[in-house]
């Protein structure tokens, strides 16, 4: 017999199915905004959660909209210079919507390239491969980013390749951004380093409880 419980279950299944595609659309639009160096990328972050965060490689974790906006504004806010290029792409989506359909966890593998402008010289072509792990929350009719962590795998000169050139895998030894909190995980490819399955693939879960699932396979913790 059809009852409220079954109606609720059907509704949840429908929302989960729609979420699977809506989240890919949202993350694609976010990636487009980053690739085009547009500050509308901020519109994809949660407006309601104080713990909204962005962690990028070993630049630290930026918590709160103000910190994220500052970091992104300084990174991409000036738009393109001649010869610059950012091209992240998203593949291999693994998306899990919480049983309570209020949040979702996702991981993408991201191949990409960039060109770094050089004064009085040709731009430098660079490989840029990594993984993106994201917590989404449903706010006012759309899925928004609660936590985003970009895990760098490869950043190297295109011509030298990732085995020979490890000069860009870690940030230079200059002060961290004053708004950055300590990096939670950074293990880019290096010929002397060992790989781990991090970020972990999200599994089915009940309700949103933080971003620790991304580091589930971190054996140092």
Partner 1 sequence: MITIEDLDVLEEDEFAELERRIETQIAIWEIKNLRGRMAIFHDDQHIGEPRLELKAIHHPSFDVEGEMNFRKTPVVDSLEGNMLIHPITTPIIEVNKDNSKARGLWWSIGIEGLSKFRETPMAIWSVGMIPGVHVKEKDGWKILSGMWQRTTKNEFHAGWVEDMQPTNTRPQISKEEDRARLGKYAYQKNEKRKSISQPPYPDTWEKYPDELDQTWQEMK
Residues binding partner 1 (CB under 8 A): 2, 6, 10, 14, 17-18, 21, 24-25, 28-29, 31-32, 36, 38, 79-85, 87, 89-91, 111-113, 115, 122-125, 142, 158-159
Q: How far apart are CB 125 and partner 1 at their closest, in Å?
A: 4
Q: How far apart are CB 142 and partner 1 at their closest, in Å?
A: 8
Beta carbons within 8 Å of 31's beta carbon, 6+ residues apart: 88, 89, 90
Q: How far apart are CB 181 and partner 1 at their closest, in Å?
A: 29
Q: How far apart are CB 26 and partner 1 at their closest, in Å?
A: 9
**Residue 29 vs 186, nearer CB to partner 1:** 29
Q: How far is CA 23 from CA 18, 68, 104, 150, 206, in A?
A: 8, 20, 9, 17, 18
Task: Give the whole-angstrom CA distance, residue 109 versus residue 129.
Answer: 8
Q: How far is CA 7 from CA 4, 10, 11, 77, in A?
A: 5, 5, 6, 46
**Residue 125 vs 210, nearer CB to partner 1:** 125
Residue whose pair of structure tokens reads 């309700």 in the numeric block: 207
**Residue 20 vs 196, nearer CB to partner 1:** 20
Q: How far apart are CB 101 and partner 1 at their closest, in Å?
A: 14
**Residue 19 vs 63, nearer CB to partner 1:** 19
* b/e code 36-62 from CB counts within 10 Å (16+ = b): ebeeebbebbbeebeebbbbbbbbbbb
Task: Give the whole-angstrom CA distance, residue 4 versus residue 98.
Answer: 20
**Residue 64 vs 123, nearer CB to partner 1:** 123
**Residue 63 vs 133, nearer CB to partner 1:** 133
Q: Which residues pair with 99 in a beta bridge?
A: none
Cα dihedral: 62, 64, 70, 73 (round 10):
90
Q: How far apart are CB 123 and partner 1 at their closest, in Å?
A: 5
């Amino acid at each position: 017999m059809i009852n409220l419980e079954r109606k609720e279950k059907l509704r949840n299944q429908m929302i989960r199915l729609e979420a699977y595609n809506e989240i890919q659309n949202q993350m694609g639009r976010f990636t487009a905004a980053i690739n085009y160096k547009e500050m509308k990328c901020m519109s994809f972050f949660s407006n309601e959660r104080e713990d909204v965060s962005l962690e990028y490689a070993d630049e630290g974790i930026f918590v709160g909209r103000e910190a994220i906006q500052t970091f992104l504004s300084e990174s991409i806010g000036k738009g393109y210079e001649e010869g610059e290029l950012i091209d992240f792409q998203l593949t291999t989506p693994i998306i899990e919507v919480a049983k309570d359909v209020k949040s979702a966890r996702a991981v993408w593998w991201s191949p990409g390239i960039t060109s770094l402008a050089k004064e009085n010289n040709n731009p430098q072509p660079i490989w840029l491969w990594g993984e993106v792990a994201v917590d989404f929350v449903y706010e006012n009719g759309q899925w928004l980013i609660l936590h985003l962590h970009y895990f760098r795998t490869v950043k190297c000169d295109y011509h030298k390749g990732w085995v020979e050139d490890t000069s860009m895998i870690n940030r230079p030894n200059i002060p961290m951004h004053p708004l950055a909190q300590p990096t939670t995980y950074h293990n880019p490819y290096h010929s002397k380093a060992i790989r781990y399955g991090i970020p972990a693939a999200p599994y089915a879960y009940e309700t949103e409880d933080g971003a620790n699932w991304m580091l589930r396979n971190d054996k140092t913790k």
